Chains A and B, each alone.
Chain A
Amino acid sequence: EVELLESGGGLVQRGGSLRLSCAASGFTFRNYAMSWVRQAPGKGLEWVSSISGPGDSTYYTDSVKGRFSISRDNSKNTLYVQMNRLRAEDSAVYYCATDPMTADAFDIWGQGTVVTVSS
């Protein structure tokens, strides 16, 4: 069964750091781009970042550029995002997502992990 499992969320002070992880199983992880999508409380979905299968290309939404760093360990089937200089507006449920079945849409999502930045 294809599965994504996020971890690492929690409560952090403004200006602090947090690293989220996403463990993948049930598909050939290294073959697929991976992404982070977030959802602030009561708000819509926001794409945050993506990384190519080999890990040599990364993309970010403007609001996190220079603060967040996406990476992956294909030997461990795990995706990461290092989040630094956190702001109140970064508080959200963070989902990892990928597209092993469709190649152009997020057909697999994790259950999400909650990040709360206190001010």
Chain B
Amino acid sequence: DIQMTQSPSSVSASVGDRVTITCRASQHISSWLAWYQQKPGKAPKLLIFAASNLHSGVPSRFSGSGSGTEFTLTIASLQPEDFATYYCQQANSFPYSFGQGTKLEIK
């Protein structure tokens, strides 16, 4: 089974900051990686699919990169609505798996 490890587990940042979250896969997953944003009490929302493709309607300040085993999600200039928890997920093979999450908090 493929394990997904995110870092950091939490990060404090200010509006306007640039933030990068890393996700590592325990095996090669090509570009079969997605990033989600989740706010308390809500279902997750897809941000990035296939490692670097911005989902429809997602602001361009979000970007994804990487392939193989190492991936990053970058938020170029944090906005107040970006404070949330972010998850990576591999769709290379079953069983699918999520990272443990990164909580982005206001500094």
Q: Which residues of A contact B (CB under 8 A)?
A: 35, 37, 44-47, 50, 59-62, 95, 101-102, 104-107, 109-112
Contact = CB atoms under 8 A, between A and B. Distances in A.
Given A104-B50, A105-B89, A106-B44, A47 B34 contact: no
Interface residues of B, number: 25
Nearest to A57: B94
B49 interface: yes
A105 B56 CA distance: 13
B94 A104 contact: no
A50 B43 contact: no
Contacts of B43: 95, 109-112
Contact of B87 (A44, A60, A109): A44
Contacts of A102: 34, 46, 49-50, 53, 55
Nearest to A65: B95
A52 B82 CA distance: 33
Contact of B98 (A46, A60, A104): A46
Contacts of A59: 94-95
B67 interface: no
A59 B98 CA distance: 16
Given A105-B89, A111-B43, A47 B97 contact: yes
What secondary structure prevails in chain B residues at the interface with A? loop
B32 interface: yes
B98 A105 contact: no
B49 A61 contact: no
Contacts of B101: 44-45
A50 B91 CA distance: 11
Query: Which of A61, A106, A110 has the most chain B CB within a 10 Å cutoff?
Result: A106
A109 to B, nearest CB: 4
A45 B89 contact: yes
B103 to A, nearest CB: 10
B87 A105 contact: no
Contact of A105 (B1, B38, B46, B94): B46
Contacts of A35: 96
B56 A45 contact: no
